[in-house]
Structure 1
């Protein structure tokens, strides 16, 4: 049965592929606007899927909560699930999901990803005003969109061990789908001009690193890549008599979603007396020898020379509960 985090991630990929399909159509009048809406949706689902994965597939971890007024007019201490007009539960938005992953769960996300998302959302929010007949704006959307897909692919591989190269996960440069060298002579309206100025300000305040997996904007290039057919093999037991079990990279990331930073962040939020001191390291190191709680794997399973990193199963919390005091 597919996990809830994996189901959300699959929906995220579907939205991203829809965005790419729309953008790459030879003729599509509402190209940039539709692309930005679908890609923002894809990102929001990706971030939510990651939270659910880290929270042991508790879908309530992405619900919005609110305090309600008591009969005396004061706000309640109890938190209630926030609901929309139809009565359905509201879930956290894009940037709240991003902030939760960084602050609560200890996921280290490159700041260029945040800047890129801010630019993409700005394009989405202003899309209703766009005529999009100006070449400068089209080119800017392409650069932001290409970088956003690059960032998305990198985090999908890191969090869900997903190889998106099988989907041709890229947008075609302008010259491939329409005449890049000619454009209608239509001046930018005030909304378009402000959007471009805002994106320019983001680019001026962001330092790009060609060696990084993440970017704010991107010059598009084409390269032929050979799809990898290798997979990581693991044996989830120390017993030499155990039946060997082969796990795909997808299975491994579902079973061991936490890295060291995620583990420490979760423990800090869970206990009143937790410190990263010798006591903690002694407990952790003893548990790392148990394959139920910890697995060592290559950061890049397709590269045997890749560095090794430890990942943790959330069930390790049960052992820490025996040694620390939970918050109220």
Structure 2
């Protein structure tokens, strides 16, 4: 199937911009880390949304341009419009907020959490010049970055955009150690405080029922005095790196009970029933150690009683079989 060249170019530039944003953020020593990430991430989002708007508008380029009325000879406006030209004589494209508005006009639903996340990153970009002491709030900014990338990958899957994420090592930013207990050795500027208040307001108004998109992902690092040999060794990929986790970590990884899942499917799907097909799919899920864990009361006793728990990633599996309700 032939794909529109402009559409394909916008998608390629978008994915490369986001990968560049992650690469810059991951550098061990980069003094303009958060601001550069915001600039590239916003550019990536804008290109992605413009590509989707172009496709949704039957690939008509006028959908991406700022339009103005054609002037008559007498100086009055005619009924015809033409693209507004910039200083170089090329058409001027619309901004990211106008793109979002146009998508909504086309009845393309846009999560409030998603819009708030994008707006928070845009404000970070626009306020970068005022961030004289951004290191004091690097943890908060990293939480926005985590959500930004998660949402970016999520919208590609939900809208079925023509990007194969499996072609990229599209990992979220590695969790750098940020000690929240360190005393701030300088006073946060008024500009930075205003920005933090702006984001906090967005977070406070976020929809908790929105499981697909979030404004910020909390970072919580804890250290135990016990040695790592007391943990449970796990390896999901034969070529992967071994990690050690405690029983508490396992509970965090598999937080859902069967009862919680069966209750949630009523709220989440319009065509899911607890029938034989559903039971067979749940049986298949139990075979996947990434989605299912049987937690024993006594892990040292092979005959110990226990209880089954499921990973929250189970929803991605069930989403492929059932139709989600419209929010």
Query: Of 76, 89, 93, which aligns to 1:87?
Result: 89
Is residue 146–residue 216 contact of structure 2 (8 Å, CA) maintained in 1?
yes
Structure-2 change in CA distance of 1:114 and 1:203 (3 Å): same
Partner of 2:122: 121
* Alignment partner of 1:306 is 2:321: yes
Partner of 2:8: 6
Q: Provide the C-alpha distance between the structure 2 equivalents of 1:95 and 1:13, rounded to a whole number of angstroms.
A: 20
- In the TM superposition, 1:291-302 aligns within 5 A as none
Query: Of 28, 31, 34, which aligns to 2:33?
Result: 31
Q: Provide the C-alpha distance between the structure 2 equivalents of 1:306 and 1:57, rounded to a whole number of angstroms.
A: 31
SS at match of 1:77: strand
Q: Provide the C-alpha distance between the structure 2 equivalents of 1:110 and 1:120, rounded to a whole number of angstroms.
A: 16
TM-score by length of 1: 0.62
Query: Of 168, 187, 211, which aligns to 2:170?
Result: 168
Structure-2 change in CA distance of 1:70 and 1:171 (3 Å): same
- In the TM superposition, 1:181-192 aligns within 5 A as 182=182, 185-192=185-192
Partner of 2:274: none
- In the TM superposition, 1:211-290 aligns within 5 A as 212-220=211-219
Higher RCO (C-alpha under 8 Å, 6+ residues apart): 1
Q: CA RMSD in A?
A: 3.0
Give the number of the structure whose residues are more often strand, by fraction.
2
Partner of 1:54: 56
TM-score by length of 2: 0.63
* Alignment partner of 1:139 is 2:139: yes
Is residue 133–residue 184 contact of structure 1 (8 Å, CA) maintained in 2?
no
Partner of 1:284: none
How many angstroms does 1:96 deviate by?
0.8
**Aligned residue pair count:** 231
How many angstroms does 1:143 deviate by?
1.3
Structure-2 change in CA distance of 1:25 and 1:305 (3 Å): closer
SS at match of 1:56: coil
Q: What residue ranges of structure 1 are gaps of 5+ in the alignment?
A: 227-299, 310-328
| Residue deviations 1:29-50 (CA, integer Å, cap 9, x gap) | 1001100000000000000010
How many angstroms does 1:131 deviate by?
1.8
Partner of 2:204: 204
| Residue deviations 1:56-99 (CA, integer Å, cap 9, x gap) | 33333312211255454433322111111111111121011111
Is residue 154–residue 213 contact of structure 1 (8 Å, CA) maintained in 2?
yes
| Residue deviations 1:178-225 (CA, integer Å, cap 9, x gap) | 76664762222221111111111111222334x711111112589998
Which stretch of structure 1 is more off in the superposition, 53-62 or 68-77? 68-77
Is residue 157–residue 163 contact of structure 1 (8 Å, CA) maintained in 2?
no
Q: What residue ranges of structure 2 are gaps of 5+ in the alignment?
A: 222-233, 238-314
- In the TM superposition, 1:104-115 aligns within 5 A as 105-115=106-116
How many angstroms does 1:304 deviate by?
9.5
How many angstroms does 1:118 deviate by?
1.2
Is residue 134–residue 184 contact of structure 1 (8 Å, CA) maintained in 2?
no
SS at match of 2:59: coil
* Alignment partner of 1:157 is 2:172: no
Is residue 42–residue 122 contact of structure 2 (8 Å, CA) maintained in 1?
yes
